[in-house]
Amino acid sequence: MKPAETLDRYDLKILAAVAEEGRLSWRDLAERIGLSLTPTLRRVRRLEETGYILGYSARLDETRLGHAISVFVSVTLTAQTEEAISAFEREIAKAPEVMSCYLMTGGADYLLRVVAPDLAGYQSFLMNSLTRIPGVAHIQSSFALRPVIQRAAPPLT
């Protein structure tokens, strides 16, 4: 597949359309991008096979599902060795409250986005999961008031 800089306008239209509406029928997708069905399907398959499209999912309403609180948690480890990093990543992956986890540069080693039903639920996660992971030296929590922007894809130009 071509590098991202050389994706043509049809590829970019496909990526934008499926990012916006993953349940779009193949026929509707073809119509939206201005190609017939067969070349559209070939392009989608190629974009999937080359890793531009990683999968399809539904966006769920976390609040309606009982997770009213979203917390961004900065975690600093006692050591930044390969072993310490691997151990933390294995353990944090077991916590279903963690929606995303990023290895970071700067003041903290990791940035997590955690959801919880309420403050008591977050405290339970903190005390029963995060603080029990060996090698965690410092935790700083920032509570999100409300989402402002949540995009499905970066700019596709």
- Encode pLDDT of 23-56 as tens digits: 999 999 999 999 999 999 999 999 999 999 999 9
Q: Is pLDDT of 127 > 60? A: yes
The answer to whether the CB of 85 falls within 8 A of the CB of 135 is: no
Instruction: Spell 84-102 as b/e; 16+ CB within 10 A means b.
Output: bbebbeebbeebebbeebe
- Selection from 32, 115, 38, 39 nearest residue 73 by Cα: 115
DSSP secondary structure letter of residue 4: G
Q: How confident is the model at residue 153 (pLDDT cuts 50, 70, 90)?
A: confident
Q: Is 45 helix (H, G, I), strand (E, B) or coil?
A: helix
Q: Is pLDDT of 156 > 90? A: no
Residues 135-148 pLDDT 10s: 999 999 999 999 99
d(CA 24, CA 3): 25
Residues 54-98 pLDDT 10s: 999 888 999 999 999 999 999 999 999 999 999 999 999 999 999
